[in-house]
Amino acid sequence: MKIVDKIIGTYSEREIKRIRPLVDKIESLRPRMQALSDEELRNKTAEYRKRLEEGETLDDLLPEAYATVREATARVLKTEHYKVQLIGGIIMVHGDNEGLVLPPRVAPVQVCIVPIQQKKEGVLDKAYELRDRLKGNFRVKVDDTDKSPGWKFAEAEMRGYPVRIEIGPKDMEAGKCVLCRRDTREKIEVTLEELEAKVGELLDRIQKEMLERARDHRDKNTYTAADMEEFEKIFAEKSGFVKAMWCGDEACENVIKEKLSVTSRCMPFEQEHIADTCVCCGKPAKKMVYWGRAY
């Protein structure tokens, strides 16, 4: 068990070290975000959407998006995320029991090539050849360590590489390789001639399907409450988010927290009108808020 703990600890330290520059970038943007007016901060959502449409990647926008959310939280709820929360949020959103599951657009490594029986003649050279073919369009690496293929597969899963390519002597003879998806673990045989096109198609499909699954999961676990009775009933029977109106008084938020262990999670810029009154006190409502319980 000590050996396993040591391995896990080493991996965790590497992941935190890898994510640290992103957190530092978010921190460096704080003065710029603090200088914005409320209206300018609110308009950031539309700005990010436009920049995505114009070709910027989620990887490019991620630090600014986190910095925007952090500043909005500080202004509205009078609290702010600590560095450890930023690190945890990045890992938590894109992970499962085996490790990270990263969307291709934000993954530091999009494709990991694992040579099978790499000490046999020509196998490692073929892996490097595939890397050189792909590196012009994708972030790609070859795992040429002396570890076993099974170990390398597990390492790739822990690190969240969206696509793993397996290539061995038999694959080379058949003129093919195997693509493995990190998110679903589906394996797909492709010919070496069509590799670039198939990798691009697969990464696009993974990105699209991960986003669809995340939205579907969010929507299926988000409910609406117009009054306190309905609010309490939902949290007693279900887990997820509840959209409900709030008067803006911190006292109401504290009542809900004490009574149900539920806290405000998000106050979206794009507001919905669910009811005229606060879900807690019945006074005129000012904002629609997402509420949730920590588990």
Are the CB atoms for 208 and 184 separated by under 8 Å? no
pLDDT band of 102, cuts 50, 70, 90: confident
pLDDT band of 230, cuts 50, 70, 90: very high
Q: What is the mean pLDDT of residues 263-271?
A: 88
User: pLDDT tens across 130-174, in order?
Assistant: 999 999 999 999 999 999 999 999 999 988 999 999 999 999 999
Handedness of CA 169, 172, 174, 177 (dihedral sign): positive
Give the residue extent of every domain in the chain.
2-93, 111-216, 222-292
Report residue 220 CA to chain centroid gap: 18
pLDDT band of 17, cuts 50, 70, 90: low
Handedness of CA 138, 13, 82, 291 (dihedral sign): positive
Q: Superfamily for 111-216?
A: Anticodon-binding domain (3.40.50.800)
Q: For the domain covering 222-292, report its CATH number.
A: 3.30.110.30
pLDDT band of 37, cuts 50, 70, 90: very high
Alpha-carbon distance of 293 to 200, in angstroms, equals: 39
- Shortest CA distance to 222 belongs to which of 242, 204, 239, 205? 242
Looking at every residue in the chain, the average pLDDT score rounds to 87
pLDDT above 90: residue 179: yes
pTM, rounded to two decimals: 0.68
Question: What token pair was written down for 225?
Answer: 């409450």
